[in-house]
Chain A
Amino acid sequence: MQKFADFLTYSIFKIPQGSKLASAVNFFIFDTIKIFILLFVIVFIITFIRTFFSPEKTRDILSHRKQNIYIAHILAALLGIVTPFCSCSAVPLFIGFVEAGIPLGVTFSYLIAAPMVNEVALGLLYANFGLKIATIYVLSGEIIAIVAGILIGKLNLERYVEDYVFKIKVANVQYQEEKKTLKKRMSETLEFTVQLIKKVWIFVVVGIGIGAFLHGYIPTGALAKIAGKNNPFAVIFATALGIPLYSNAAGIIPLVSEFRRLGVSMGTSLSFMMSVTALSLPEMILLRRVLKPQLLAIFVGIVGCGIIITGYLFNLILG
């Protein structure tokens, strides 16, 4: 692959070896190919696993078993990874869960884990940072979801859910799981994966493109002073910055790998990426329809604190 990138850069585009432009173009081609192959593979695997889970099934698992509340939180956060989720479904999902008698805190554990640990983020994290960082991201995300959910549960905040939520009569239809053959699952998975990549590829390319530009023109370590581990406010700043950047999560992860080279510390980078995926402005606007402002603020506050603590922790451990 590196040979292919070299070939394109030096032979096809005829850019002189060793120039800044060559470095940028070469990096861009190599990275793009690598990231898309890995992204495709990982999204495909996760999507395939997801054909076995549905929110309806998750709801039934969480509501029918009268299990220990802590186990319910852990289960909810784990199911958040494997259940397909899109932020446009956050409201019906929230109502469906609450109506089924799932405790508010457990519902939040799910709602925090589902968008944070999603297939695009995982694919891109693995492609850009490798297995270790992807695993750290998933584990921290799960722990934040579990702890934040438990806290929200303990605070007894049911009164801050919009009143109409409890009045809605949800049709008591026993959900008929569509019968699927392996072949159908595979073709559905492939279709979904292709659709998803079609949707995000432009953001990924722009992210890699900006990264490549920085790679060619800005020297390694240039950001170390302002965003390195010695700046105590970098983590908080990174978390706040991530909130409005939701729709570009796909473009941000490739860019963050470049920030790393420029000297942004790992914990700060993790905080930034978690904030981008877990705290999204459009999702908050949607959730406002079912949550009163107080609960929405508590939700953002607790998750935000969790992300910030994670950032400091990994700045200490990983540097």
Chain B
Amino acid sequence: MNSYINRMIQISLRLLVEGRVDAILGFQRGTLPMMSQPILIRQPEQVDQLHWDSFCANNVANYLPKRREKVAVVAKGCDSRNIVLQIQENQIKREQLYIIGVPCHGMVDRRKVLADLNGREVLEVRDKDGILCLAAEGFEEVFLHSEYLQDNCAICRHRNPVIYDELVAEPVTEQTEVERFSDVLALEAMTDIERWQHFQELLSPCIRCYACRNSCPMCYCPTCFVDESTPQWLGRSIDPTDTQTYHFLRAYHLAGRCTDCGNCELACPVGIKMRQLTKKLEKDILELYGYEAGLSLDEPPPLDTYRPDDPQEFIK
């Protein structure tokens, strides 16, 4: 990790000193163990604040839409795919960006680690070469990254940035053989009634805080449909119909746009596994159009384009 950080700092310093960019968008160390915080650095003397470890899971593309200045952005594989989509959707211009690509080893799920610590609190974290060493008064324990990865990272096929101006390290080996859709296959195998019951249960803890929406780099509408008030489209209570409508519509808005960065689940305070909704749509788009979101600037998003050979069985 240190080599990543050193390289990031070198690049950032050079870019700021040479005036190539106005700011660096990256991460700083968090105030809690196993947390980080997105930061915007404008002064060369601040670049030492840049940090990298296995807990830099927030998708920095979330901070790009409508930015006016020129920004260097520290981007993992998923971040870079969201950047591609945002460029295609005219939220930011490629010329405004200097992409510092970070080949990613997958992010560790803080909550999985905390769950296994069983209430014991960690004071010190050492994070090196796929091993996490956690310590506090009276205990020291070693965790393997590979066993505590975020669910989305464990099945990620695009750990290397798909677009960048410079990489902080050599690309990592991609996990080409992972099965991405086992949970979706399970959903598809359910009867309609089972699936409906599953969804109702899945979404029942929702407190409508909208962290899943707001943590998503593709949710940038000036006014979200849930915030429309003239007329109001959706009830604001925690009536299950309104809550479910919110989640289903949110997922549909991400069809062909979700990169499975996992920020929705990461942000959810009540632990809702809502990626299965977006992953079902990801699978459909892959099967219908052979398309994966945000892999190339030259590939138009399938729902924004028309091709004579597009499948149309669903509108019979």
Whether chains A and B associate is: no
